[in-house]
Amino acid sequence: MMRYLSVHDLVWINTIVTGKTLVFDYEKLEAVMAAQYGYGQSNNVPLQAASFLETALKKRPFAYGNLRVAFVALVTYLNANGYALEVDDRRAAEIIQSVSKGELSSSQAIAEMSSPTDQKLKPGTTLRQLVSFICNRHAEALKLLKEGDE
């Protein structure tokens, strides 16, 4: 069963990574949230993750913090759906920035950053618990992405 982030989850992630409750464009935010889903059978994690990342970086629904939200939301989506991040924080930040600048496609980014894993989330783990874990585990990536994200 696929797991998805809600609009509320994305707003919460922005608050966590920026330390503030910011204004946002609801229509753009809803488009970002919807980009996680696929048409027909919605179970192609890499394809849907690429769409999610691309839309988050193009729409930029928040006043600021969009790069960090895109990173945390992407890693959360991947982890929740059986994929692990395969690069260190420095490389992850470089990849997100490259996609944001149009230097790398979102599909290439997903292929380089992640791979399927047999590790599953513990039963009962919520997406918000996973987000908190990701923010703590990838603090260096968040720090690197902060530059130019405010």
Residue 128 sits in a domain of what CATH number?
1.20.120
Q: How many domains does the chain have?
A: 1
Give backbone dihedrals phi and psi of 18, rounded to 5 degrees, phi first: -100, -20
Domain-located, residue 42:
yes
Q: Is 2 part of any domain?
A: no
Would 85 be classed as within a structural domain? Answer: yes
Residue-range definition of the domain harbouring residue 112: 7-146
Query: How far apart, in whole angstroms, are the C-alpha atoms of residue 130 and residue 120?
Result: 12
Residue 1 lies in a domain: no
Per residue in 2-58, pLDDT tens?
Answer: 899 999 999 999 999 999 999 999 999 999 999 999 877 778 999 999 999 999 999
pTM, whole model, 2 decimals?
0.95
Is 36 part of any domain?
yes
Residues 6+ apart with CB under 8 A from 133: none
Residue 13 resides in a domain: yes
Taking only the tens place, the pLDDT of each residue in 58-96 is 999 999 999 999 999 999 999 999 999 999 999 999 999
In a domain, 84, yes or no: yes
pLDDT class of 98 with cuts at 50, 70, 90: very high
Cβ atoms of 50 and 109 within 8 Å: the answer is yes
